[in-house]
Every structure is written in structure tokens, then in C-alpha cells.
Amino acid sequence: MNFETEFEISKDDCKEIVNYHFYRRPLQMALNIVRLIFGIAAGVCAILTAIAGDGVWAVIFGTVCLVILGVFILAPKRAVSSLLKTPYYQGKIRFVGDDSGTQFIYRTGDSNTQWSGYVRYRETKHLFLLFVSDSGFRAIPKRALPAEQASQFRNLLNQRIPSSNKR
């Protein structure tokens, strides 16, 4: 079966990609929760030490708190901004997929990949992410495919990308 569509990567798509990378594994989620709790505790300690009059410890705790909270607030926003500025995510993207592989045509060039070039794929709520490495991927919004084609594309992915590589 052949698949052919055009789409643009939206800000919401980039947010979903970032959320997938930041929060996709239970261990990462647990570590992020611990960091958040530590950041809040450091902030509370900074406030208490400032009230007690020890300015040096207040500055240290306050800095730690800001750095940790910055990771949760600024890092995802910066990652979304970075994705939006990536040249091959700007403008229309033409996607062609068939039994031999995929072709993505960007305004800056194109990418042809045989199915054996993908290590895994992931399906999020609104995207198909085709991974060429642990962190390198090609994104296809589900909205770019009619519902019936999205189901057929999912079946093709299951057939062409070995299940042992889906992590």
C-alpha cells in the first residue's frame, strides 16, 4: 500500500514530541517528581533561612530551587522553540511511504529511508514517531492521514519495523 500526504508540524506537535521525550518512561517520571519535590523543598528552606536571617544559605537554597524548577519550566519550552526553529520542520512536508520505505520531502531537502533503517516507532496521541536512532526521529501527525489510512499505516509499521526494536 502507498501512503502520500502533506502536512506541517505545529507547535502542539512539537509540545507532544517534547512531552514524549521528557516523560515517556516511568523511571524518568519518577526522577522528575523527585527533582520537583527537591526543588520545592529547597525553595521552602530558602524562605525559612531568609526569615531566620541566614542570607548565605538562603541564596544557596534559592539558587538550587530556581535551577531545578527552571528545568521543569524553561527546558520544555526551550525544546519546543528549538524544534519549531529546526529548518526541516518549517513549512510543508511531503511524506510518501510504501513497502520499501519512506520519503520525507522538506523545503530544505529530502530523506529516503528503507524500513530497515528504522530502529523503532512510537505512536502518541496525535503522532507517529519513526526513530532512526535512540533520539533521531521523523514525525508524522495522525491528522495528515484519514482514519482508515492511519490504521493501515499502523499495520505497515508493525510489519516493517521489528517488534523487538520497539522500546
pTM: 0.74
pLDDT tops 60 at residue 142: yes
Check whether residue 97 and residue 157 sit in a common domain: yes
pLDDT band at 23 (very low <50, low <70, confident <90, very high): low
Q: Which residue has the cell 516507532?
A: 121
Domain count, the chain: 2
Distance of alpha carbon 161 from alpha carbon 103, whole angstroms? 16
pLDDT band at 1 (very low <50, low <70, confident <90, very high): confident
pLDDT band at 164 (very low <50, low <70, confident <90, very high): very low
Check whether residue 75 and residue 51 sit in a common domain: yes
Check whether residue 100 and residue 75 sit in a common domain: no
pLDDT band at 115 (very low <50, low <70, confident <90, very high): very high
Spell out the residues 6+ positions from residue 165 whose beta carbon is closer than 8 angstroms to its own.
Answer: 118, 119, 120
Q: Final residue of a domain: which of 85, 116, 136?
A: 85
Check whether residue 46 and residue 102 sit in a common domain: no
Q: Which domain holds residue 48?
A: 13-85
Check whether residue 27 and residue 43 sit in a common domain: yes
Read off the CATH number of the domain in which 125 is found: 2.30.29
